Structure 1
Amino acid sequence: MPTLQIGRKQIPYELRRSAAASERRITVTPGHVEVLALTSDGDHDIANFLLRKRQWVFNTVREMERITSGRHAVPRFMTGSKILFRGRRMPLTVRRTDGERIELTFRNGFIVDLPSWVGGDADKLVASELKLWFKRRVRRDVKEIAAEYSSRFGFAPRSIRVADFANGWGSCGAEGNILINWHLVFAPKKVLEYVIVHELAHLRYRSHRSEFWSYLASILPGFDQSKAWLEINESSLNADFLNWAKV
């Protein structure tokens, strides 16, 4: 593995070339530095790039070492945290990058790239980015699931959107406006599907009488498993991420 010499400190780094990259980039996580280079870059180009970035790399590596050594036993929004998503705890990696914008990607876990200008409020910013990503994802899921069932069974809600509920997981108003609690992004997707179809079924049957449940079972067989999961786990869905991310 190549190393970057800065004073007496040697910093090993992983060099990766990408045909899709439009610019060179450096990311730093605890114990690891990655240099992303263009496929057209020669050794001289990479050496000059690292020379320009050497002070930033040195400062950022020291910052990561300080964070790691002073970390609490239970991390929050930093590398090593586990973030609940669709019923599973997915790993979070927070990296420092020489880019200009905060970026969040999901590849079998969450990766958040923080630029140099982010200071002591990094934890809050990571939580905010995750919250925005969760809301976008659950809006997409709700739209897709509602469209599928509306097409199959002829439902025509006046509107369907996600919202922040103090209590409950969904509602269907008298005029056909459906609301879905965005916190369901933390539950398995089958549970989100159950809540959406439950509210769509209220377009046909307003009450929770026996005919409602019979109809729901006819369009969503096995819904009782998702219903039971939600009843057992509802308190943890509201308490896990949300108690940390008061943003």
Structure 2
Amino acid sequence: MVVSGIDITIHKSARKTVSIFVERDGSVSARVPEKLEEEEIEEILKAKEYQIFKNLAEWTQLNQNAVEREYVNGQSFLYLGRNYRLRFVEDNIEGLQFIKNKFLINKEEKHRAKELFVKFYKNKLLTKIHPIIDQYKMQLGVEPKQIKIMELQNRWASCTSNGNVNFHWKCAMAPIDVLQYIVVHELAHLIHLNHTAEFWNEVDKILPNYESQMNWLKLNGAGMDL
């Protein structure tokens, strides 16, 4: 649907309110109650025109932090909130190795560098995230059915209606406290699927300072890319 010259992707679900999001790629989406007709949706979105343009302006400002990374010696890559340099070496090493605060890849595998980084982040996130989930699921009194590390395009994580929790492999680039927030956020969705006041109350009970982690993602999310 095009509103005020902006292409907005509409997602209908069993919800009561309309929420508008600027996705990480700059596209705009709206979650709306499934009972609304197209004319009603358009009227509501037009009324929210100021909010949409404000959110787009914020997205543009935040994405000034985007980083164009090249797979060359000395290029920095994020891991758990810190930047580390990449070195291509002649040593007979397998895949990507993280040794003495450096990313090492055999120079013969330079053509596979991005693939090796993705695999590294997936494996590391899997080991880091399970203890965090075990800690907070007890506090929230929930039990996710499945936990997956995967490509989620413009979302850091997702929670399905049947209780599965998915995390983007890029979460391995975030500091541990931010990773804790992402986990708590998704586990709280096992109690409240929508971003209602009750949902944020659940998050606040566990992480009273969660807004600082949210802000870190807003400020640094554009730089969490390969």
Compute the TM-score of the two structures, normalised by the length of structure 2: 0.63
Distance (Å, rounded) in 2 between the aligned partners of 1:82 and 1:207: 37
Which of 111, 125, 131 is residue 124 of structure 1 equivalent to? 111
CA RMSD of aligned residues (A): 2.2
Distance (Å, rounded) in 2 between the aligned partners of 1:75 and 1:228: 23
**CA-to-aligned-CA distance 1:167-205 (integer Å, 9 cap, x gap):** 221111111111111111222222121111101011112
Q: Give the deviation of 1:235 after TM superposition.
A: 2.2
SS of the equivalent of 2:90 reads strand
Structure number with the bigger relative contact order (C-alpha 8 A, sep ≥ 6) is 2
Contact 2:96–2:103 (CA under 8 A) maintained in structure 1: no
1:88 aligned partner, one-letter code: R
Distance (Å, rounded) in 1 between the aligned partners of 2:148 and 2:106: 30
Aligned length: 159
Distance (Å, rounded) in 2 between the aligned partners of 1:177 and 1:207: 15
1:105 aligned partner, one-letter code: F
- Alpha carbons of structure 1 residues 95 and 197: separation in structure 2 relative to 1, 3 Å: same
- Alpha carbons of structure 1 residues 148 and 232: separation in structure 2 relative to 1, 3 Å: same
Which of 51, 75, 80 is residue 81 of structure 1 equivalent to? 75
Contact 1:76–1:123 (CA under 8 A) maintained in structure 2: no
Identify the residue that residue 97 of structure 2 maps to in structure 1: 104
Contact 2:88–2:110 (CA under 8 A) maintained in structure 1: no
Q: Give the deviation of 1:75 after TM superposition.
A: 8.1
Q: Unaligned regions of 5+ residues in structure 1, if any?
A: 1-73, 242-247
- Alpha carbons of structure 1 residues 93 and 208: separation in structure 2 relative to 1, 3 Å: same
2:147 aligned partner, one-letter code: I
Whether 1:139 aligns to 2:140 is no
Identify the residue that residue 201 of structure 2 maps to in structure 1: 214
Task: Give the alignment of 1:154-165 within 5 angstroms.
Answer: 154-165=141-152
- Alpha carbons of structure 1 residues 223 and 77: separation in structure 2 relative to 1, 3 Å: same
Whether 1:235 aligns to 2:225 is no
Q: Give the deviation of 1:206 after TM superposition.
A: 2.0
SS of the equivalent of 1:203 reads coil
User: Whose Rg is larger?
Assistant: 1
- Alpha carbons of structure 1 residues 236 and 75: separation in structure 2 relative to 1, 3 Å: closer
Task: Tell me the percent identity.
Answer: 26
Whether 1:173 aligns to 2:160 is yes
Identify the residue that residue 182 of structure 2 maps to in structure 1: 195
Identify the residue that residue 49 of structure 1 maps to in structure 2: none
Compute the TM-score of the two structures, normalised by the length of structure 1: 0.58
Distance (Å, rounded) in 1 between the aligned partners of 2:106 and 2:110: 12
- Alpha carbons of structure 1 residues 87 and 173: separation in structure 2 relative to 1, 3 Å: same
Q: Give the deviation of 1:88 after TM superposition.
A: 1.8
Q: Give the deviation of 1:161 after TM superposition.
A: 1.3
